[in-house]
């Protein structure tokens, strides 16, 4: 398929990907996923951390097949179009820590940029604060980018290195099949399963996996990225990725409205709290970390699927971050931020600013 | 003498920033940008076009794209 122009690289490719996600995510919610959480990369990685026992918050434990699908769908697309390029070595340890704090920020807000968009499209006014914070955090990141911030060049590596995260995902799928959920049991083999709360709410496995594969495929082809959408607009006034993100929000709004999932307001929204400042600052921390790491949490999964080992390290950072966030009481709940959520956000900003200010080696 | 921007091993936005910096610094004539991933190839082409430059040609050698851009 080499030589064929990538039709997904054009404006309709990215808008099409946004529309597809905007349709599929609310439908996943209809089929069982939690409220305004048809797809949430951060929440779903947090649920995976819980299913593996990396944290013991018993309401958020489930191996989310969507995440597996995102990576493997991207892997399939990358192989079909000869874009699987195993590479790594661009400051992986820094990306690991950025992943940790991106997750902590997301769990203070209760969602990644994907869910912020879906929450807005479901009528959750708190998402306005989250998206505002996201823009603010990314704006700070663009100041560093203009000042020469970069994490250095990657190197080509063995194909097997590029396969590490896809293999982990296959392993998780294997665990899910070997140790399926047993009705009324909180454990099956090595896996934890939520009996109540968001972790107990999920669409059927095959549908979740299928949708994940499709989104992974489309996003790899179109380079869909919620952080890049805002970053490119701020940096270059470039609308390309933003058009996909806006298409997602508008489509999800229309679908939610049509199937009766739209409820406007601030109070009583599903898996959300109304502490405006921390909704804003949580997502701002996340946005800054995503910007410094070069992609939103979805994009990191898609990059990992096409062989980017640095993106894979960022993903592992997020999963570890979820474990820390719940074990340390940093994550928010419907009642508000966790007992140590506020200091964690402050520490996160300090770490991200340190990284932003210090990593400016000239590339040339 | 045409300028070459080596953005191999970098992912966006760096290749685009480097290209736009060169365009802003008053570079005229032709430039070649080296990138090694498809997304950067598309982004650099898109950014150059939006600044009124034209993509004169793209060749690939061992996984590296040589993007030749020209002031339109």
Q: What is the pLDDT of residues A133-166, one digit of tens each?
A: 999 999 999 999 999 999 999 999 999 999 999 9
Interface touch B16/A236, C-beta < 8 Å = yes
Interface touch B10/A294, C-beta < 8 Å = no
d(CA A289, CA A136): 12
The better pLDDT of the pair A361, B12 is held by B12
Angle A218-A224-A227 (CA atoms, 0-180°, nearest 5)? Answer: 155
d(CA A313, CA B40): 21
Task: Specify the pLDDT at position A2.
Answer: 42
Task: Find the CB nearest A154 among B9, B13, B20.
Answer: B9
**pLDDT averages per 10-residue partition of chain A, 364 residues:** 66 96 98 98 98 98 98 98 96 98 98 98 98 98 96 96 98 98 96 98 98 98 97 95 98 98 97 98 98 98 98 98 98 96 98 97 62
Name which of A148, A149, A140 is nearest A285 in CA terms: A140
Name which of A9, A107, A101, A130 is nearest A314 in CA terms: A101
Task: Specify the pLDDT at position A3.
Answer: 43
Torsion angle of the four alpha carbons A245, A311, B42, B40, in this order, in degrees rounded to the nearest 10: 130
Task: Specify the pLDDT at position B1.
Answer: 54
For residue B54, say if its preceding peptide bond is cis, omega within 30 degrees of 0.
no
Task: Specify the pLDDT at position B28.
Answer: 75
Q: Does the pLDDT at position B27 exceed 50?
A: yes
d(CA A185, CA A204): 18
Tokens 């679908």, residue located? A255
Q: Residue A82's closest chain B neighbor by CA?
A: B38
Helix (H) or strand (E) run with residue B70 in it: strand B64-71
ipTM > 0.85 (yes/no): yes
Q: What are B57's strand-pairing partners? A: B68
- Provide the shortest C-alpha distance from residue B28 to chain A (in Å): 20
Task: Find the CB nearest B13 among A6, A81, A232.
Answer: A232
Residue A76 exposure: Cα atoms within 13 Å on the Cβ side: 15
List pLDDT tens digits, range A238-271: 999 999 999 999 999 999 999 999 999 999 999 9
Task: Specify the pLDDT at position A362.
Answer: 66
d(CA A178, CA A167): 16
Helix (H) or strand (E) run with residue A281 in it: helix A276-293
d(CA A263, CA A130): 18
């Amino acid at each position: 398929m080499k030589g064929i122009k990538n039709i997904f690289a054009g404006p309709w490719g990215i808008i099409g990907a946004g529309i597809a996600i905007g349709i599929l995510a609310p439908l996943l919610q209809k089929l069982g996923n939690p409220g305004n959480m048809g797809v949430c990369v951060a929440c779903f990685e947090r649920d995976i951390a819980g299913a593996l026992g990396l944290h013991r918050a018993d309401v958020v434990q489930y191996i989310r097949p969507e995440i597996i699908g995102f990576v493997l769908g991207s892997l399939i697309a990358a192989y079909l179009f000869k874009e699987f390029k195993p590479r790594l070595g661009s400051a992986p340890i820094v990306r690991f820590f950025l992943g940790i704090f991106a997750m902590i920020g997301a769990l203070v807000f209760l969602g990644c940029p994907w869910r912020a968009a879906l929450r807005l499209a479901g009528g959750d006014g708190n998402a306005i604060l989250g998206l505002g914070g996201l823009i603010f955090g990314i704006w700070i990141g663009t100041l560093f980018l203009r000042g020469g911030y970069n994490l250095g060049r990657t190197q080509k590596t063995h194909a097997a290195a590029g396969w590490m995260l896809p293999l982990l995902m296959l392993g998780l799928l294997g665990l899910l099949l070997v140790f399926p959920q047993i009705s009324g049991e909180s454990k099956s083999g090595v896996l934890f399963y939520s009996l109540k709360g968001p972790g107990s709410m999920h669409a059927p496995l095959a549908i979740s996996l299928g949708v994940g594969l499709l989104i992974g495929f489309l996003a790899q082809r179109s380079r869909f990225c919620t952080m890049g959408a805002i970053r490119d607009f701020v940096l270059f006034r470039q609308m390309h990725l933003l058009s996909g993100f806006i298409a997602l929000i508008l489509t999800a709004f229309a679908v939610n409205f049509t199937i009766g999932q739209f409820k406007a307001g601030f109070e009583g929204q599903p898996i959300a709290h109304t502490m405006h400042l921390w909704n804003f600052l949580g997502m701002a921390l996340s946005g800054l970390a995503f910007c410094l790491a070069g992609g939103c949490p979805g994009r990191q999964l898609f990059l990992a699927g096409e062989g980017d080992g640095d993106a894979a390290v960022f993903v592992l950072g997020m999963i570890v971050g979820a474990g820390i966030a719940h074990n340390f009481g940093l994550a928010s709940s419907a009642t508000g931020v966790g007992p140590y959520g506020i200091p964690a956000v402050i520490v996160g900003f300090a770490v991200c600013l340190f990284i932003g200010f210090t990593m400016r080696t000239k590339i040339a | 003498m045409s300028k070459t921007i080596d953005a191999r091993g970098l992912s966006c936005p760096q290749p685009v920033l480097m290209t736009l910096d060169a365009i802003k610094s008053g570079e005229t004539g032709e430039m070649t940008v080296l990138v090694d991933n498809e997304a950067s190839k598309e982004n650099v082409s898109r950014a150059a076009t939006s600044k009124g430059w034209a993509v004169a040609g793209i060749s690939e050698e061992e996984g590296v794209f040589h993007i030749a851009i020209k002031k339109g």
